[in-house]
């Protein structure tokens, strides 16, 4: 029995290491970024990087009309956020800010666009964002690198 307890303690120590946590946070960053990046790419015309499509304009004028911003502001703002924050998340730069912005977008989508999707979709997005807001990007992020560099200079 002692052998099993020792083995368990070793496994827990590995799982609780900074590198393991950094790997898990990297996975969370990539997962959340992928969701919003794909959504952002669906909002632009096929052969452009950032030209908002007519179908996106239509959605914001009609289906997403409950969003408390004019569609001519909401569509570009959402498209920009769904392109910028995922990139920042993947590289681990401004992780907490980016996750907070995507959590805010999730809540707007939940409240004003798809209120029935909390348990099927949005709770998972919110959970990923919350973990990143609380824990940050981890050791495998530019935040950690810049934080280390900043503290060495101080």
Kindly report, residue by residue over 29-43, the tens digit of the pLDDT. Answer: 999 999 999 999 999
The pLDDT value given to residue 148: 86
Q: What is the pLDDT of residue 49?
A: 87
Q: Residue 124 pLDDT > 70, yes or no?
A: yes
pLDDT, mean over the chain: 96
CA angle 26, 30, 36 (to 5 degrees): 145
Q: Is the pLDDT confidence value at 154 over 70?
A: no
3-class secondary-structure state, position 55: helix
Rounded mean pLDDT of 122-142?
A: 99
**Structure confidence at residue 152 (pLDDT):** 81
- pLDDT > 70? residue 13: yes
**Torsion from C-alpha of 115, 120, 125, 126, nearest 10 degrees:** 60
Q: Taking residues 84-92, what's their average pLDDT? A: 99
Task: List, as one string, the DSSP characters of 59-74.
Answer: HHHTTTTTSSS-HHHH
- Give the separation between CA 38 and CA 44, rounded to whole angstroms: 11
Quick one: average pLDDT of 96-117?
A: 98
Chain segment 55-74, per-residue pLDDT in tens: 999 999 999 999 999 999 99
The stretch 69-94 carries a mean pLDDT of 98
Comparing C-alpha atoms, which of 38, 59, 64, 35 is closest to residue 123?
A: 35
Question: How much is the pTM?
Answer: 0.92
| Closest by Cα among 41, 69, 34 to 56 | 41
Q: Is the pLDDT of residue 92 over 80?
A: yes
β-strand partners of 52 = 44
């Amino acid at each position: 029995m002692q052998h099993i307890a020792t083995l368990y303690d070793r496994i827990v120590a590995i799982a609780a290491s900074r590198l393991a946590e950094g790997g898990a946070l990297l996975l969370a960053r990539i997962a959340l970024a992928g969701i919003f990046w794909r959504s952002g790419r669906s909002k632009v015309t096929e052969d452009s990087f950032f030209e908002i499509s007519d179908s996106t304009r239509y959605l914001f004028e009609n289906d997403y009309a409950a969003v408390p911003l004019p569609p001519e502001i909401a569509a570009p703002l959402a498209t920009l956020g769904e392109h910028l924050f995922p990139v920042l998340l993947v590289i681990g730069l401004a992780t907490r800010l980016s996750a907070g912005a995507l959590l805010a977008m999730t809540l707007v989508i939940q409240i004003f666009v798809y209120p029935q999707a909390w348990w099927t979709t949005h709770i998972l997005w919110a959970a990923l964002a919350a973990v990143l807001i609380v824990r940050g990007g981890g050791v495998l992020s530019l935040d950690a690198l810049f934080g280390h560099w900043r503290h060495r200079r101080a």
